Each structure stands twice: as C-alpha cells, then as structure tokens.
Amino acid sequence: MNKSKIKSLQFIGLVGILFGAQIALAFVLPVQANIGHPPPTAMEVQGQLSGNTFRVESTPPPGFSAHWYQGSIAPWSLFPPTSTYLSTSIKTPNGAPGSTEFYYVLLSCFNDIGSYCQIGFAAVDGHWGITWCWTEWSGYTMIYNYDADAYTLSQNTQYNFIMYIAGDGDLEFSVYQGRTEIWDRSVNMDADYFLLTSTYWHGWGYPTLACFTNYEEIYDTDAETPDFNFKFQYTTWTSGYWDSWNVLDVNSPPDCTTLISTASHYVWVINPDA
C-alpha cells in the first residue's frame, strides 16, 4: 500500500445544529494539494438547518461555471453513532462524461481527529476516475490531500467504495469490483472512528462543517446538470446498512432531486438532464 504521513492535528470538538430555522452556508477555502482540479470541498454551515431539505446561493469558484451539491446528509445527533468502517456501492454511468465536464460523486465523513475523508469518483477529462481525499488543519485552514483521478474506472460497472480505520489508527481506502480489490491507499494517522452525524466542529474559532454525506458536487457540466443519475446503494457502517438520511440540496438547479429508500437501502440523485 502507498503511505502518506499526516501532520499532528489539534483539539477537536463536535457541535450539532438543530433543525428549525434558516441556513447560511459557505465553503472552506482550501489549500490545494492536487493542482489542476479543485478538491472535493467541505461545506461550512453558518446557521441552522431548516426541515429535511436546505438550499442556499453561492458564487462559483473562479474558472468554474457552478458549484452546487445534491444528495443526502445524516441527521444531527448530540451523541452521534460512530463507526470504523464506511462503504457505499455506486454504478458508473453507461456513457462517458464530456471532456470538459468536472464533478464529484462521493461518500464523505469526518473522523474523530478532524480529517475530512472522502471516497468515490469524478467526471474528469472525459472518463470516470477514482477520487480519494483526506484533510488536515494548519491553523484555521483546512488542507486537502487528494487525487481527483487516481484510477480510471470502466463505464456501466458496479463498484464498492470503502473507508476503514484500522486498529493502529491508519485510514485505509479501497475500491472493489465484485470481490476483487482494484485499488487501495493508506494514510498514517491516529484516528479511532468516523462521526455519523450532520455536522462537525473542530473547536473554538473553527467553522462548523457538514459531516456524513452522500452527494454529487458539481463544478462544470455541458448542460445545466450531469447527463446521468447516481445511486448510492447499500451505504454501510459497522452495524449494517445506514438508512437514516435527510435530503442535501445546496444551490442545485430546479428539478434536481434526491430519492431516499430505507426499504431498498439507497440514495438516488436525480438530474433533469439525464
């Protein structure tokens, strides 16, 4: 396995934001560790969530036509469930993305030492590529260590995307096609578990950030939305399937929706241009 070294992280805390009022939401300004493509970005929550769906307006980053999210977010919990294992199964589309399109389809979650961990794939340079990401704090700045295109995936193929915290605290990433592991990475850190809740707080003076999610994060598309829908099937933690979700809708175009089925264990992001 490839090893990376994580710097020491600072004091962490956890705060939840109760449902019932309005929300303002911004994006943590990243230090990019993977030049050429923007990182999969943690969302900064600056107010209270409203109902099961929330929408805000935001300005796209320089050089990109958009920046919006559609998917699901775990409910808030004062004492959230924890897990050393997270996975989800996603089928790549039966066609290729446009050569200039760029967006992510990701499972994301903070761990207990404040690293934002993500696994999934991106529409990048006309193909589907494995994306993995972990973060560290430098003062009040979140540094993204990521690769938007670590391994080229086949079209119309089911993959299982896995994040696992080992007994020694290392963070393990892997992708399986059926029972065959096709890719893996490992990061040396001292984590214990993932936090399965809507928000994460690193401590006084730090922003409150969206935590456990399944979503598409859009930067550039040929049409208003991607030409494909994306289904997160059988999202799993150490106790079985995770089916406790609310809809995450951040500045997405009209008619973008997310269907959530507890009976069939999926989060299905529906794009009107698909």
Domains of the chain: which residue ranges? 3-270
Cα–Cα dist 236/89, whole Å: 9
Q: What is the pLDDT of residues 143-190, one digit of tens each?
A: 999 999 999 999 999 999 999 999 999 999 999 999 999 999 999 999
% residues pLDDT > 90 (the chain): 73
Is residue 245 scored above 70 in pLDDT?
yes
Average pLDDT on 206-231 reads 95
CA pseudo-torsion sign 124, 125, 130, 133: negative
137 contacts 42 by C-beta, under 8 angstroms: no
Q: What are the angstrom distances between the C-alpha of 219 and each of 155, 197, 265? A: 21, 25, 28
Closest to 160 measured CA to CA, from 94, 85, 90, 230: 90
Is residue 46 scored above 90 in pLDDT?
no
Closest to 108 measured CA to CA, from 209, 204, 181, 192: 209
128 contacts 152 by C-beta, under 8 angstroms: yes
Cα–Cα dist 19/50, whole Å: 5
| pLDDT computed for residue 59 by the predictor | 67
Q: What are the angstrom distances between the C-alpha of 32 and each of 35, 41, 186? A: 6, 10, 20
Is residue 239 scored above 90 in pLDDT?
yes
| pLDDT computed for residue 9 by the predictor | 30
Burial class (CB in 10 A: 0-12, 13-18, 19+), 259: middle
| pLDDT computed for residue 174 by the predictor | 98
List, in order, residues 6 or more apart from 44 with CB less than 8 Å away.
25, 26, 27, 28, 207, 208, 209, 210
235 contacts 267 by C-beta, under 8 angstroms: yes
